[in-house]
Amino acid sequence: MAFLNWTDKLSVGVKSFDDQHTVLIETLNELHAAMMKGQARAVVGSLLHTLVNYTREHFAAEEAMMESTKYPALATHRNRHRELTKQVEEYVARYEKNDLTLSLHLLQFLSDWLSTHIQGEDHAYGPWMNEHGVQ
């Protein structure tokens, strides 16, 4: 059973970004499943690699779209992206130091990312993007 399933409630109204957000949900579910089997340490490295790539590619795509539509809260959103990227980099550093509590903290981080950033901050840009021709 998945820790979290995609629902319309998670949609920001922009298909390409919704598709990218599903990567985060899959990552969260993969970590949770491994934790339930006692295998979290075996998957954390791979998940962190996915997260690093996800944050860089997704944030760049989001910010480029915001720039092209002249999204008024771009500067604030960009700063939040920088904070999230820094947090991901901190998880990589913890992994490299063999932090044994990393899996639980990473699961909480991903869950918070979904509830705070995607469902809150990202939902704010959906209507703006739609009004400017981005579906």
Is residue 36 assigned to a domain?
yes
pLDDT given at position 71: 96
Measured distance CA(14)–CA(109) in Å, rounded: 24
pLDDT given at position 112: 84
Is residue 130 assigned to a domain?
no
pLDDT given at position 6: 85
pLDDT given at position 63: 95
pLDDT given at position 46: 86
Is residue 5 assigned to a domain?
no
Measured distance CA(117)–CA(121) in Å, rounded: 5
pTM exceeds 0.75 for this model: yes
pLDDT given at position 59: 92
DSSP 17: H
Number of domains in the chain: 1
pLDDT along the chain (135 residues), means of 10: 83 91 86 84 83 88 94 95 90 85 82 82 89 90
Reduced 3-state DSSP string for 75-112: HHHHHHHHHHHHHHHHHHHHHHCCCCCHHHHHHHHHHH
Domain that holds residue 97: 14-125
Is residue 134 assigned to a domain?
no
CATH number of the domain where residue 121 is located: 1.20.120.50
pLDDT given at position 79: 95
Is residue 3 assigned to a domain?
no
pLDDT given at position 67: 96
